[in-house]
Structure 1
Amino acid sequence: MTKSIALVLKGYPRLSETFIAQEIHALEQQGFAITLISLRHPTDHTVHPIHREIKAPVVYLPEYLHHEPRRVIRSFWAQLFRPHFWSVLRLWWQDFRRDPTLNRIRRLGQSWVLATELPPDTQQLYAHFIHTPGSVTRYTSHLTGIPWSASAHAKDIWTTPRWDLADKLADLAWLTTCTESNQHYLQSLTPAPEKVMLVYHGLDFNRFPIVAEPRETAPSDQVQILSVGRAVPKKGYDVILEALAKLPSELSWHFTHIGQGPELAKLQNLAEQLGIADKVTWLGAQSQQRVLNQYRQADIFILGSRITEDGDRDGLPNVLMEAQSQHIACIATAISGIPELIIDQQTGLLVPPEDINATSQALQQLITQPEWRQTLAEAGYKRVTSHFSLQQGIATLASCFAGSCKS
């Protein structure tokens, strides 16, 4: 019998969350019937090819309750006389006393709508991200009696209060997370640590074709440096630009950035101030095929992930796996789950976060030593293709949805 899953996301589709799209598609291929529940409408102007292949219908909840008052009121009345309405209200009140925000009110209203409009054959609720989607899913689970589970990633873990995480972990059936550091932290918050399983996102190598060998470059060629990521503080692009500006003037290089984000204009201004604007190309958001084309023209991939003041951070960025699958030598920072993928001096180079000098030295080393660059690229390729396949994680998820989690 096909299991029917309502999968709750903060927004869908999103260019920056390809790992979620590939998981949805793979679960559909496994025979699961999925309905996507999005708390927000899409803001990206394009989609990846995989989004067009996903068959799951999408239900958009009211992004703000006052935007669709009739829908919210209708759902409120539909839930008011159901058995669990008042117990869920008490549960919500306990949360609201500790988090007295409009967001917490919105999550309750969205849960009324979701509980009312769920497909009648829904057997499992599943939230991607433990913070806002997790709250809506939890309240809906209590309203309907349908069990829920979740997948937790990075910002949603490290910017959520411990009490909120602990309450959800006590409540859900199981949770997957994408790095060992995430797993250990979440397991410390629950007396049932077996609920928290490590599942790397991995890559679908059929969809993201690997290349047979590194791109050959002569010592005199301009070295192409690439980064893919949103222009937000946790990505550390200001550090990367400062490190590029410190490179010796005789080195020939060009840096290309792919991604949108609120910090983009500020970063472009910084490149101007540092005198390197003529060596930097800003491509903005791009389709997966165009990103793939850029990977195949690059010699070095760099990501400057950092932990921000509010605790936000990367988990294990898929872009590092993508770059390694294309035989690119990678430079990244030694935070979160990145050292689980990149072994320093063996499958890439790791530098401390925020360290401009170390980042610049790593760049200079790879720019000036093409043979070392290719050695790291080959080792990174072998590691990612042998340890980080999407199918390994999907097998674990499928067993959990079938009722017998096997990590």
Structure 2
Amino acid sequence: MKLAVFVTEFPKTTETFILRDLMVFLEAGVDLRIYHLAPWRKDQILHGFAAPLAGRARHLGLGSGAAVAGVLRHPLTAAWMAARILRHQGAEPVMAAKSLALLPAALGIAEELREWGADHVHAEFAGHPATAAWIVNAAIGVPYSVSCRAHDIFRSQRLLAQKFAAASAVRSVSEFTRVFLARKVAGVGEADIDVIHSSVDVAAIPALPPAPRNGTFRVLYVGALQQRKGVDVLLSALAGLDGDWRLDLAGDGPERARLEALTRDLGLEARVAFLGARPFEEISGLIEAAHVCVAPSVIGPKGRTEGIPNVMIEALAHQRPAISTRVSGIPELIRDGETGLMTEPGDIDALRRALVEVRDDPDAAHALAVAGRAHVAAEFDLRRNAARQLEMFTRTGPLKAATAATPPAPLAPERIIPDAG
């Protein structure tokens, strides 16, 4: 299979869940290309395990010669898709402008994929990657699928009905998002959406024994430092926690300066370590050293929030106790009192009580972690879920043939401009 995967950014330190899938696809013999719509992210880490992907990553600039050539080869498709974008997304002018700016590059990519002989396109996220896949499909007819996660569908649903109708498959990473989409997107029902969780390679992760009971109680947060992550809630909860404890924050982001200031205001500088973004290979060691892993997620500005935090899947796979909040699909992973502990988002006192519960009853906390690892093995296993995705990629579309409007038939590319070279 010749598979093109569309992402917004590459590399992206926090998107290990995508990188792991791609590596399994390579192992399965897939001929893979990765198209990142934004330029190469020099400020991000490409984790060592994903190094082979670097040579498969490609980017076409929005105003590149290939993009201009794509428009010249497909002028009717360009006009048709521009009209549909304005019709369905015009009420959100910023998003519409970004989609229109993406149109030439997507048509340039379409020409590359036509020449390559692509069998399928998969869009990681329902926003710009899915828009690009939708445009490619309109231009050259290659079937495509879409993975839906969190902010890509929660912030706005404009244009989703059009992109989903033409797709051969739509994947949700949680039951929560499947129900959300069925309720919010016209013409799409729950039966039309595959739930395939983000995953970890459980067999490759050792089940850790309980952390040492004596000494400092170690709390770990791994993830971006953004408002929707709720790290300020965690800091406030720990400020009222007695005894000897330490918090390691592995990650970076726009909230770092504010969180460092909050740490100083709370008098916690000696107990909180801002480690910055860390390579994937170091995260296992941080989890092993921790007594508990916490994802204090909240609903951020403009509805931005989590799908299911990948680090919580990893923590449970390592058999470490996990605490998180009742946001989005998180309760599908962490079942309160069964596989971990849950609190309401933003509830400082409840989060502090959960931390105390883990610290003061390590046997019960370890029992939750054991059950959590078993749950991850059953529902979040990398190879099983990657195989389900590969099966999904073999489908031909569209998902909703009756509602997938088609553009006017374009002239054959050779009739517009000759092939380069």
Q: TM-score, normalised by structure 2?
A: 0.88
Equivalent residue letter for 2:207: V
Assess if the C-alpha contact under 8 Å between 1:92 and 1:139 holds in 2. Answer: no
Q: Hey, what's the Cα distance between the residues in 2 that align with 1:18 and 1:119? A: 29
Counterpart of 1:150 in 2: which secondary structure? Answer: strand
Residue 154 (structure 1) aligns with: 150
Q: Hey, what's the Cα distance between the residues in 1 that align with 2:264 and 2:26? A: 47
Equivalent residue letter for 2:49: I
Counterpart of 1:282 in 2: which secondary structure? Answer: strand
Q: 1:336 pairs with 328, 331, 338, which one? A: 328
Greater relative contact order, per chain length (Cα 8 Å cut-off, separation 6+): 2
- Give deviations 1:147-169, integer Å, cap 9, x for gaps: 22111111101012x33222222
Counterpart of 2:110 in 1: which secondary structure? Answer: helix
Q: Hey, what's the Cα distance between the residues in 2 that align with 1:55 and 1:271? A: 37
Assess if the C-alpha contact under 8 Å between 2:114 and 2:140 holds in 1. Answer: no
Assess if the C-alpha contact under 8 Å between 2:106 and 2:132 holds in 1. Answer: yes
Unpaired runs of 5+ residues, structure 1, are none
Offset of 1:373 from its aligned partner?
Answer: 2.4
From the superposition, tell whether residues 299 and 235 of structure 1 become closer, same or farther in structure 2 (CA, over 3 Å).
Answer: same
Q: Hey, what's the Cα distance between the residues in 1 that align with 2:51 and 2:257? A: 31
Offset of 1:343 from its aligned partner?
Answer: 1.3
Assess if the C-alpha contact under 8 Å between 2:237 and 2:349 holds in 1. Answer: yes
- Give deviations 1:203-244, integer Å, cap 9, x for gaps: 11345x2235222323xx111110101000110001000000
**1:53-64 superposed matches below 5 A:** 53-54=52-53, 57-62=56-61
CA RMSD of aligned residues (A): 2.0
Offset of 1:132 from its aligned partner?
Answer: 1.1
Q: 1:228 pairs with 219, 222, 225, which one? A: 222
Q: 2:349 pairs with 345, 351, 357, which one? A: 357
Offset of 1:96 from its aligned partner?
Answer: 5.0
Residue 407 (structure 2) aligns with: none
Q: 1:246 pairs with 224, 240, 243, which one? A: 240
How many residue pairs get matched? 391
> Which range is displaced more, 167-176 or 257-266?
167-176
Equivalent residue letter for 1:172: A
Q: 1:72 pairs with 54, 67, 72, which one? A: 67
Are 1:400 and 2:388 matched, yes or no?
A: no
Offset of 1:254 from its aligned partner?
Answer: 0.4
Are 1:308 and 2:300 matched, yes or no?
A: yes
From the superposition, tell whether residues 149 and 51 of structure 1 become closer, same or farther in structure 2 (CA, over 3 Å).
Answer: same
- Give deviations 1:340-376, integer Å, cap 9, x for gaps: 1111112211000010111111112222222222222
Assess if the C-alpha contact under 8 Å between 2:78 and 2:103 holds in 1. Answer: no
Q: Hey, what's the Cα distance between the residues in 2 that align with 1:325 and 1:163? A: 36
Assess if the C-alpha contact under 8 Å between 1:34 and 1:56 holds in 2. Answer: no
**1:161-240 superposed matches below 5 A:** 162-188=157-183, 189-193=185-189, 194-207=191-204, 209-218=205-214, 221-240=215-234
> Which range is displaced more, 252-261 or 362-371?
362-371
Are 1:136 and 2:128 matched, yes or no?
A: no
Counterpart of 2:99 in 1: which secondary structure? Answer: helix
From the superposition, tell whether residues 46 and 89 of structure 1 become closer, same or farther in structure 2 (CA, over 3 Å).
Answer: closer
Q: 1:370 pairs with 349, 362, 368, which one? A: 362
Assess if the C-alpha contact under 8 Å between 1:36 and 1:56 holds in 2. Answer: no
Assess if the C-alpha contact under 8 Å between 2:5 and 2:121 holds in 1. Answer: yes
Residue 43 (structure 2) aligns with: 44
Q: Hey, what's the Cα distance between the residues in 2 that align with 1:112 and 1:282? A: 43
- Give deviations 1:105-152, integer Å, cap 9, x for gaps: 212122222123325211212100001111111112101121221111
Offset of 1:192 from its aligned partner?
Answer: 4.4
Counterpart of 1:133 in 2: which secondary structure? Answer: helix
Q: TM-score, normalised by structure 1?
A: 0.91
Unpaired runs of 5+ residues, structure 2, are 398-421
Assess if the C-alpha contact under 8 Å between 1:342 and 1:348 holds in 2. Answer: yes
Q: Hey, what's the Cα distance between the residues in 2 that align with 1:229 and 1:171? A: 34
Assess if the C-alpha contact under 8 Å between 1:127 and 1:137 holds in 2. Answer: yes
Offset of 1:191 from its aligned partner?
Answer: 3.3
Assess if the C-alpha contact under 8 Å between 1:79 and 1:112 holds in 2. Answer: yes
Counterpart of 1:53 in 2: which secondary structure? Answer: helix
Equivalent residue letter for 1:228: V
Counterpart of 1:6 in 2: which secondary structure? Answer: strand
From the superposition, tell whether residues 128 and 91 of structure 1 become closer, same or farther in structure 2 (CA, over 3 Å).
Answer: same
Offset of 1:267 from its aligned partner?
Answer: 0.3
Residue 84 (structure 2) aligns with: 91
Residue 127 (structure 1) aligns with: 123
Equivalent residue letter for 1:227: Y
Q: Hey, what's the Cα distance between the residues in 2 that align with 1:324 and 1:125? A: 32
Equivalent residue letter for 1:222: T
